[in-house]
């Protein structure tokens, strides 16, 4: 009888659909000042739970239905009930218990790096300070109107690596501050404030994450240091004034000193874009994130899961035939506006799944925003191929990273590739103009250093790396550099003009005709956009919708001469076939034999409150993973069993522990290794 009751109880519990409550703030029509307050509140209250969703406060530029779509998906797939509010007074009142006071600033202090940009520089620094002290940025008048206390000085604590706390001003608008010297230009006032911040605030900020450009809720949530600096031109290296570059270089040197054996992350965006290469010399990776709600996406709880998708194939089940194998890849996959923006709305196309389409993703972002990753994996069709954009760690170049950072980058890349079951990569490097140039003592080039690049791709077990590089042969498998490379530079397949579909299809037919089969072709690397193509945000000749791509594939199939020999592929099948055609093993990187005992750095680190510990075993053995505090007291045993040889990982949930430094230890047979992890709540 008791057993029957227990079974009935379990069935009842499993039948319950648990709900999740959150606040939705509609910021449509709000002033810059009010949006700055909303962004800061979201970053503060979303640190340990997804409490506040921002609607039309900082929506991605490439698809204006992003906020609406994710709101509906959180409701339908995450069982979220949103309590909608409007007005900044209502928002402050709802979360007043989280707000310790205000950081005041002069709302009339504006600056712009380039034509079309204008931001409240004191307001953004006030928001950054507020994120570090749980205060909100307000003008003195607003602080009085909303009854928010103001302090002359506020205490900034270091939540990351033990730097001493520091008292700083809570009133940026005071005339006595050096950055308010009336003899200075607006730019020099802002630079004076930033240089003060570099000396006093930067050491207390997140040492692994830095935000460049307009501040966001994610900047606040992650306690990043933020600079809104840029050049005047999209591509011209020299359009970034020296004084602005000096500030950035100081920050980059500091962050590299804190992350010498691994990679740190830069969020936001860089203008001019070619200077992203400059960042790599300091051991950085770039992530375009000029959008809101990332604090909500990162905090929404998702149960641990496996990331599998229908396009995965048994590589032993496919063999090359006398065909033309072609692929289409969506560009911009490294960018948050595409990852978070549902690939500019293209993912929502009802035509998705009719033909093979390949989607490039930023694996670092998928890891940071698990609800988003889960949605893409759960709704993918067998015709949705997945690959990593530029690098598993984001917009970055392994051939430029300093040597001391490479092993940490390899470990993190392998972790992400294994987690998301992706080992094909699309990478490009260009924008230098003249081919090479020297910028502030760093050599920047259009070309990869393929000796270093190939070695890195080999070490992370990439099964195929597609590149855009003028120094390699075109549309041919290349095995010279210890890995399989495939180049498509110089034949209009990279952001080619696809405004006329007949011309696009004929260009592909011409590229295939007369080639010896099996033949492999990257037919188009385009920006995918929503099906409502006439209403896309910024019309471009290289943009294509899934609906239009389906039409192109049909035109190819209908070609009387070679249409029956054309097979459009997912990247997974394309890679497996090419490897067999070149005589390479069909075994993918994640299936290769592990030959060493090794404990990898937990990821992410710092973390809150869940992190993953990965390790490899060279032989079956009794394996123990333990976690200790700084005093050596064992606080958790994560693994205690005999495990097989190969890759393993385990999650550590520290929700019941205070912020601080901890250690984790692997013992397997005679092998032991210990590493440090940092919990930051």
Q: Are residues 264 and 293 in the same domain?
A: yes
pLDDT at 15: 40
- Name the percent of the chain lying above pLDDT 70: 95
Query: Which CATH number is 452's domain given?
Result: 3.20.20.490
Per-residue pLDDT for 269 more than 90?
yes
How many angstroms separate the CA atoms of 120 and 102, rounded?
16
Paired sense of beta strands 225-227 and 621-629, if any? unpaired
- E strand or H helix at 124: helix 121-133
CA 496 to chain CA mean position, Å: 26
Confidence tier at 603 by pLDDT (50, 70, 90): low
Confidence of residue 441 (pLDDT cuts 50, 70, 90): very high
Residues 509 and 619 in one domain: no
Answer yes or no: is 14 within a domain.
Answer: no
Query: Do 240 and 359 belong together in one domain?
Result: no
Which residues are paired to 137 by β-bridges?
Answer: 103
Confidence of residue 612 (pLDDT cuts 50, 70, 90): confident
Residue 14 has pLDDT above 60, yes or no: no
Q: Tell me the residue range of the domain where 123 lies.
A: 20-299
Mean predicted confidence (pLDDT) in 49-65 = 93
The answer to whether residue 87 is domain-embedded is: yes
pLDDT at position 216 is 98
At 8 the pLDDT is 44
Q: How far is CA 33 from CA 30, 243, 389, 566, 568, in A?
A: 8, 27, 36, 56, 50
- 311: how many CB neighbours lie within 10 A of its CB? 21
Mean pLDDT on 10-28: 70
Q: List 159's β-bridge partners, or say none.
A: none
- Report the alpha-carbon distance of residue 70 to residue 322 in Å, rounded: 44
Residues 578 and 602 placed together within one structural domain of the fold: no
Final residue belonging to a domain, choices 559, 589, 619: 589
Q: What pLDDT is recorded for position 539?
A: 66
Tens digit of each residue's pLDDT (9 = 90 or more) over 524-541:
999 999 998 776 666 689
- Please say which residue of 589, 619, 643 terminates a domain: 589
pLDDT above 90: residue 510: yes
The mean-pLDDT minimum among 78-92, 344-358, 557-571, 638-652 falls in: 638-652
Residues 639, 584 within the same domain? no
The mean pLDDT of 664-676, rounded to a whole number, is 94
Find the CATH number of the domain harbouring 646: 2.60.40.3080
Q: What's 273's DSSP letter?
A: G
Whether residue 336 is predicted with pLDDT greater than 90 in this model: the reply is yes
How far apart CA 59 and CA 72 sit, in angstroms, is 15
- Average pLDDT score over residue span 235-255: 95
Q: What is the pLDDT of residue 501?
A: 96
pLDDT digits (tens, 9 = 90+) for 23-45: 999 999 999 999 999 999 999 99
Task: State pLDDT tens for residues 300-327.
Answer: 999 999 999 999 998 888 899 999 999 9
Task: Determine the pLDDT at residue 61.
Answer: 87
Instruction: Over range 483-510, report the average pLDDT.
Output: 95
Neighbouring CB atoms inside 10 A of 575's CB total: 29
Same domain, 562 and 653: no
Q: What is the number of domains present in the chain?
A: 3
Averaged confidence pLDDT in the chain:
92
Residue 586 has pLDDT above 70, yes or no: no
Q: Is residue 37 part of a domain?
A: yes
What does each C-alpha distance from 340 to 172, 285, 451, 563 come to in angstroms?
34, 18, 34, 36
Structure tokens given for 304: 């641990």
pLDDT tens per residue across span 106-120: 999 999 999 999 999
50 falls within a domain: yes
In this prediction, residue 19 carries a pLDDT of: 80
In the prediction, which pLDDT does 383 show? Answer: 98
Residue-wise pLDDT tens digits, 399-430: 999 999 999 999 999 999 999 999 999 998 87
| Alpha carbon distance, N-terminus to C-terminus of the chain | 46
Q: Name the pLDDT band for 588 (thresholds 50, 70, 90).
A: very low
Does a structural domain hold residue 1? Answer: no
Residue 473 has pLDDT above 60, yes or no: yes
At 12, the pLDDT band (50, 70, 90 cuts) reads: very low
pLDDT at 147: 96
Per-residue pLDDT tens digits for 191-211? 999 999 999 999 999 999 999
The pLDDT, as a whole number, for residue 590 is 37
344 and 477 within one domain: yes
Residues 581, 603: one domain? no
Q: What integer is the mean pLDDT of 137-161?
A: 96
pLDDT of residue 286 exceeding 70, the answer is yes
Q: Do residues 324 and 517 lie in contact, with contact meaning Cβ atoms separated by under 8 Å?
A: yes
d(CA 180, CA 187) in angstroms, rounded, equals 11
Structural domain ending residue among the three candidates 536, 570, 589 = 589
The percentage of the chain sitting over the pLDDT mark of 90, rounded to a whole number, equals: 80
Could you tell me which of 339, 332, 344 has the C-alpha nearest to residue 373? Answer: 339
Burial class (CB in 10 A: 0-12, 13-18, 19+), 442: middle
pLDDT attached to residue 594? 54
Residue at 488 is within a domain: yes
Q: Are residues 547 and 407 in the same domain?
A: yes
Residue 16 has pLDDT above 70, yes or no: no
Task: Quote the pLDDT of residue 536.
Answer: 66
What pLDDT is attached to residue 436?
Answer: 81
User: In the predicted model, is pLDDT for residue 2 greater than 70?
Assistant: no
Q: Per the domain annotation, does 469 fall within a domain?
A: yes
What is the distance between the alpha carbons of residues 9 and 651, in angstroms, rounded to a whole number?
28
For residue 478, being part of any structural domain is answered with yes
C-alpha distance from residue 94 to each of 23, 24, 293, 677 (Å): 9, 11, 18, 35
pLDDT at 374 over 70: yes
The top-scoring range by mean pLDDT among 184-193, 269-278, 431-440, 484-493 is: 184-193
Give mean pLDDT, residues 129-146: 97
Do 191 and 256 belong to one domain?
A: yes
Residue 139 and residue 262 in one domain: yes
**pLDDT, mean of residues 321-336:** 95
| DSSP letter assigned to residue 171 | B
Q: Are residues 387 and 494 in the same domain?
A: yes
Closest to 211 (Cα-Cα) out of 153, 281, 277, 127:
127
Whole-number pLDDT of residue 595? 64
């Amino acid at each position: 009888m008791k057993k029957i009751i227990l079974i009935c109880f379990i069935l009842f519990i499993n039948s319950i659909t648990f709900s999740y409550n959150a606040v939705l703030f509609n910021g449509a029509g709000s002033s810059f000042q009010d949006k700055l307050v909303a962004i800061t509140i979201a970053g503060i209250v979303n640190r340990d739970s997804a409490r506040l969703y921002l609607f039309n406060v900082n929506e991605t530029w490439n698809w204006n239905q992003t906020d609406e779509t994710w709101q509906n998906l959180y409701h339908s797939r995450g069982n979220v009930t949103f309590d909608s509010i409007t007005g900044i007074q209502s928002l402050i009142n709802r979360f007043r218990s989280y707000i310790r006071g205000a950081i005041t600033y002069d709302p009339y202090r504006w600056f712009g790096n380039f034509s079309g940009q204008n931001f409240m520089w004191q307001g953004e620094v006030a928001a950054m300070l507020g994120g570090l002290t749980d205060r909100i940025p307000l003008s003195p008048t607003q602080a009085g109107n909303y009854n928010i206390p103001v302090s002359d000085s506020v205490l900034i604590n270091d939540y990351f690596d033990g730097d001493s706390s520091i008292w700083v001003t809570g009133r940026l608008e005071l005339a006595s501050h050096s950055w308010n010297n009336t003899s200075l230009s607006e730019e020099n006032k802002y630079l004076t404030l930033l240089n003060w911040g570099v000396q006093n605030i930067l050491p207390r900020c997140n040492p692994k994450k830095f935000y460049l450009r307009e501040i966001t809720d994610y900047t606040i949530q992650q306690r990043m240091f933020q600079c809104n600096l840029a050049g005047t031109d999209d591509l011209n290296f020299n359009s970034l004034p020296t004084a602005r570059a000096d500030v950035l270089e100081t920050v980059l040197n500091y962050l590299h000193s804190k992350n010498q054996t691994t990679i740190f992350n830069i969020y936001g965006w860089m203008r001019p874009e070619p200077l992203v290469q400059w960042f790599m010399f300091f051991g950085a990776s770039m992530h375009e994130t000029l959008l809101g709600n990332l604090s909500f996406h990162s905090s929404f709880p998702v149960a641990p899961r496996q990331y599998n998708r229908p396009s995965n194939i048994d590589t032993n089940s496919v063999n090359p035939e006398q065909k033309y194998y072609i692929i289409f890849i969506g560009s911009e996959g490294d960018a948050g506006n595409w990852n978070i923006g549902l690939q500019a709305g293209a993912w929502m196309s009802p035509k998705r799944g009719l033909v093979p389409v390949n989607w490039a993703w930023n694996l670092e972002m998928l890891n940071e925003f698990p609800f988003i990753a889960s949605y893409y994996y759960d709704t993918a069709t067998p015709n949705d191929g997945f690959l990593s954009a530029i690098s598993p760690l984001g917009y970055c170049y392994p051939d430029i990273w300093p040597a001391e950072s490479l092993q940490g980058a390899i470990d993190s890349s392998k972790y992400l590739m294994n987690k998301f079951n992706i080992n094909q990569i699309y990478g490009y490097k260009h924008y230098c103009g003249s081919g090479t140039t020297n910028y502030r003592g760093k050599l920047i080039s259009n070309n990869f250093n393929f000796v270093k690049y190939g070695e890195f791709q080999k070490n992370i077990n990439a099964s195929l790396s597609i590149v855009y590089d003028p120094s390699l042969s075109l549309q041919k498998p290349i095995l010279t550099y210890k890995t399989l490379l495939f180049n498509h530079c110089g034949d209009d397949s990279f952001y080619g003009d696809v405004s006329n579909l007949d011309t696009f299809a004929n260009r592909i037919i011409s590229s295939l005709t007369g080639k010896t089969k099996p033949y492999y072709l990257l037919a188009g690397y385009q920006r995918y956009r929503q099906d409502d193509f006439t209403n896309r945000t910024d019309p471009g000749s290289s943009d294509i919708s899934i609906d239009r791509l389906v039409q192109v594939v049909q035109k190819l199939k209908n070609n009387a001469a070679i249409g029956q020999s054309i097979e459009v592929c997912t990247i997974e099948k394309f890679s497996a076939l090419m490897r067999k055609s070149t005589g390479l093993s069909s075994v993918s990187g994640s299936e290769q034999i592990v030959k060493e005992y090794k404990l990898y750095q937990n990821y992410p680190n710092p973390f809150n409150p869940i992190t993953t510990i990965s390790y490899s075993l060279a032989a079956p053995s009794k394996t123990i993973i333990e976690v200790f505090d700084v005093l050596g007291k064992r606080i958790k045993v994560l693994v205690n069993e005999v495990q097989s040889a190969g890759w393993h990982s385990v999650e550590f949930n520290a929700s019941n522990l205070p912020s601080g430094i901890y250690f984790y230890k692997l013992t397997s047979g005679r092998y032991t290794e210990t590493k440090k992890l940092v919990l930051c709540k």
